[in-house]
Structure 1
Amino acid sequence: MEGLSVSDTNLVVYLHPSTSDNVHEAILRELSSMLLRYNDIFEGIVLAYEFNILDKEAKILPGVHPYFTVRLKAKLLLYSPKPDMLVEGKVVKVKQESIHVIILGFSSAVITDNDIREEFRYKSCG
């Protein structure tokens, strides 16, 4: 499908000291917070990820709350729709003024009557 891409990237995750007893779980929680949200840095919606920790030593940041950083190598599955891109979806509702679809099983879209091609126009019988 158009709009899907895989991005290999290096990430730095900032973790609170209270999570130091289970760093792997803390990283999963941080990366999971990026799922299904548009990310300006990656110019797309993060759909899935896998990662490897690059350094076994974390860097402690000075300050009031001394967070520590963990460097990761991550592979992200991104969905980046662009204008005039062909996108597939499942039609879930057809109304006189719109067609409602689900894209990739999670994202809803509405095609209004102004954007519906003439051969798909609603005609009432009766």
Structure 2
Amino acid sequence: MEGLTVSDANLTVYIHPSMTNKVRGAILTQLSSLLFRYSEDLEGVLLAYQVNVRSKVARILPGLVPHFGVKLKATLLLFAPKPGMFIEGKVVKIGRESIHAIVLGFSSAAIMLGDIREEFKFQIEKGTETYISKSHKGHRIKVGSIIRFALKSMDEEILHISGSLIPPNTGCIHWLSKYGMEHDPHTKRSAKRRLEKERDSGSSHSAVPRRPHKCRRTRRE
């Protein structure tokens, strides 16, 4: 899934003097408070971290209640999707006008009717709301399906995502993993261009068969 990045960062965590004997615990507490929230400094949502304290020497900051800063190196797992990226989510609700999903277990996503390509038709199948492809009957989207969709926008404050199922390589992951490569027009065009390129390359380097050389015999007198 796009939008997930792992990055190394040099951070400074400010600790209250009362936590001088529990520095590591104080560091983990502060970093944990950033989990599953959008951070402008990190330019993404922090999903996980691993820290390594760079120095045991802390810098005391003056003030009414002096704090001390601890420098550390952290490896961060961030969720920072951009418009146009393809992300995945689990469908939790389906209606005639929209599909709702949860991304990575914490962010809600909505795909409105205008962003669902005409290939999909809403039906109630055996009491279950389902979007079924008119081109490929086996391609179904229902509650519990894992779908891939394109990100249109993301509300960073409430972590709400607006998505789209317009691109042809979007839909139910289970179906796409089996048949998507065969029916994706972009993949077909790429494969066709690759075959044509290989064919042209092969013809240009093909060896021209030579006619066998005939040896002349010399008759002895």
Q: Smaller-chain TM-score range?
A: over 0.9
Instruction: State the match for 1:43 in structure 2.
Output: 43
Q: Residue 119 of structure 1 aligns to which amino acid in structure 2?
A: E
Gaps of 5+ in 2: 126-221
Q: Using structure 2 for the length normalisation, give the TM-score.
A: 0.54
Give me the whole-angstrom Cα distance separating, in 1, the residues matched to 2:81 and 2:41: 15
Task: Trace 1:1-126 onto structure 2 (pairs within 5 A).
Answer: 1-123=1-123
Give me the whole-angstrom Cα distance separating, in 1, the residues matched to 2:105 and 2:119: 26
Give me the whole-angstrom Cα distance separating, in 2, the residues matched to 1:62 and 1:23: 19
How far is the alpha carbon of 1:124 from its aligned partner?
Answer: 6.4
The DSSP-based 3-state class of the residue aligned with 1:84 is: coil
Gaps of 5+ in 1: none
Instruction: State the match for 2:175 in structure 1.
Output: none
Give me the whole-angstrom Cα distance separating, in 2, the residues matched to 1:117 and 1:43: 31
The structure having more radius of gyration, on CA atoms, is 2
The structure in which a higher percent of residues are helix is 2
How far is the alpha carbon of 1:41 from its aligned partner?
Answer: 1.7
How far is the alpha carbon of 1:120 from its aligned partner?
Answer: 2.0
- Structure with more contact order per residue of length (Cα contacts < 8 Å, sep ≥ 6): 1
Query: RMSD over aligned Cα, in angstroms?
Result: 1.4
Q: Using structure 1 for the length normalisation, give the TM-score.
A: 0.93
